[in-house]
Structure 1
Amino acid sequence: MKFAVLVFPGSNCDIDCYKAVEETIGEPVDYVWHTATDLSAYDCILVPGGFSYGDYLRCGAISRFAPVMNEVAKAAEAGKFILGICNGFQILTEAGLLPGALLRNNSMKFRCHDTSLKVVNNKTPFTTDYSEGEEIIIPIAHGEGNYYCDDETFTRLKQNDQIVFTYSNNPNGSLADIAGICNEQGNVVGMMPHPERAVNSLLGSEDGKRMFTSILNAWRDIHGAASVR
C-alpha cells in the first residue's frame, strides 16, 4: 500500500505523518508537493496539519486551489482513502470534499493539549480497529477548530453516520462536540486532533496508531491480503 503526504508551503505536520506511516505500519510513503498533477500511484492520501500559505484569508482557502487538490478530488471519487488532519481538515472543507466549515475557537485562543475523543463511527476504513463508543486520547493544536454546519447539513451528518469522532470535553465550541467527520461514502475523513502525534507511548498516547493500522487493514481487505490485526 502506498501513501502520499501532501506538502503545502507552511505545512508543519508533514514529517509527523510520514514518520507515523513509516514507523507504525512500515508501508511505502512519499512526500508530494502541492504542484503535483498525478496521484494515481497512491492508495491513501494524507493532508497534514500546519499553516498552509500562512493561513492567509481563511485556513485552507488558498491551498484549496493548489493543483494537487484536483487530483485529491479525483482520488476521493475513485474511492481511495483520504485523511485530512487539522489544517488538512480545513482544506478538505474548503475544497468541498467534506461539508461544513472550521471557525475560530470560541475561546479565541490557540489550544494545544491532549484531548479525549469518543469513537462514534468505527465502520470507516480509518476506524475499524477501534470499538464503537471507545474513548481515546489524541492531542489537538489549533486556533480554528470550531466545526460548524447548517441545520440541514447536520441532519444529514447524523442520518448518514458521518460523525466519526466527538470531543468528550469540547475545547473549541464545535457543534455537537464534533471532532471529525467523513463523507457519505466513508473514504474521506477530516479531523482536528492529530493521530500522527499519538502513535507511541513516549508521546503520551499510542491511540492514534490504530488509525493507521485500520487504513492498512481496510486496504488489505479490499485486495485480499492478510491483515495486521
Structure 2
Amino acid sequence: MKFGVVVFPGSNCDRDVAYVLQDILKQPTRLVWHQETEISDLDVIIIPGGFSYGDYLRCGAIAQFSPIMKAVQQHATQGKLVLGICNGFQILTEVGLLPGALIRNQNLHFICDRVPLKVENTASVWTETYHKQTVITLPIAHGEGRYFAEPDTLKQIEDNGQVLFRYCNQKGEITAESNPNGSLNNIAGITNKTGNVLGMMPHPERASDEVLGATDGLHLFQSVLSHKVGMANLAH
C-alpha cells in the first residue's frame, strides 16, 4: 500500500504523518506538493494539519482551489482512501468530500490539549483494530474545530453511522463538559457515506510513537493496513 501526504504552503504536520508511515509502519510514502495533479500511483491520500495558505479567509478556504484537490476528489470518487486531519478535515468539508463545516471554537480560543475520545464505529476501514466504545486519548490543536451541520444533515450522519470518533470524558460519557470546542453531538471525526473518506480534528499521528508514550493513534493507520491485508486474503 502506498501513501501520499499532501503539502500545502503552511502545512506543519506533513512530516509527522510521513514519519509514522515510513519510519514506524515501514510503508512507501511520498510527499505530494499542492501543485501536483498526478496521484494515480497512490492508494491512500492524507491531508495533514497545519495552516494551509496561512488560514487566510477561513481555514481551508484557499486550499480547496489547489490543483491537487481536483485529483484528490477523483481519487475519492474512485473509492480510494482519503484522510484529512485537523486542517485537512476543514479542507475536505470545503471541497464537499465531507458534509458540514468546521467553525470557530465555542470559546473563540485556540485549543491545544490531549482529549479523550470514544470510538463509536469499528465497522470501518479506519477503525478495524479498535474496540467499539473504547476510550482513547489524542492531541488536538485548533481554533476552528467546532463541527456544525444542518439538522437534516446531522441526522443522516448519525443514522448512517458516519461518526467514528466523539469527544467524551475518561469514563466514555458524552457530556457537554467533555466537548472542547462546542461541536454538535460532540463529533470529533466523520466519514462520507461510503466510508472511504475520513475527516477528524484530533491528531492520530501525534500519538503513534512509543517514544512519546502515546500510541492510541497508531491503530488508525494499522486499521488501514489490516483492511488491505484482509481484502488481499479474500482475493485468494
Instruction: Please state which band the TM-score falls in when normalised by the shorter chain.
Output: over 0.9
Alignment of 1:1-229 (within 5 A): 1-168=1-168, 169-224=178-233
SS in 2 for 1:224: helix
Question: How far 1:131 moved relative to its partner?
Answer: 0.8
Which consecutive unaligned segments of at least 5 residues does structure 1 have? none
Instruction: Give the partner amino acid of 1:216.
Output: L
Partner Cα separation in structure 2 for residue 118 and residue 89 of structure 1: 18
Partner Cα separation in structure 2 for residue 3 and residue 200 of structure 1: 18
SS in 1 for 2:147: strand
TM-score between both structures, scaled by the size of structure 1 = 0.96
Instruction: Give the partner amino acid of 2:28.
Output: P
Question: How far 1:218 moved relative to its partner?
Answer: 1.3
Question: How far 1:24 moved relative to its partner?
Answer: 2.7
Deviation readout 1:100-157 (Å, 9 max, x if unpaired): 0001111111111111000011111111000110000100000100000000100100
Partner Cα separation in structure 1 for residue 24 and residue 77 of structure 2: 27
Which consecutive unaligned segments of at least 5 residues does structure 2 have? 169-177
Identity of aligned residues (%): 52
Partner Cα separation in structure 1 for residue 212 and residue 142 of structure 2: 18
2:171 corresponds to = none
SS in 1 for 2:130: coil
Q: 1:24·1:212 contact (CA, 8 Å) conserved in 2?
A: no
Deviation readout 1:149-196 (Å, 9 max, x if unpaired): 000100100111001100011100000000000000011000000000
SS in 1 for 2:20: helix
SS in 1 for 2:165: strand
Instruction: Give the partner amino acid of 2:223.
Output: S
Question: How far 1:29 moved relative to its partner?
Answer: 0.3
- The list of structure 1 runs, each at least 4 consecutive aligned residues, that deviate by more than 6 angstroms after superposition, is none
SS in 1 for 2:40: coil
TM-score between both structures, scaled by the size of structure 2 = 0.93
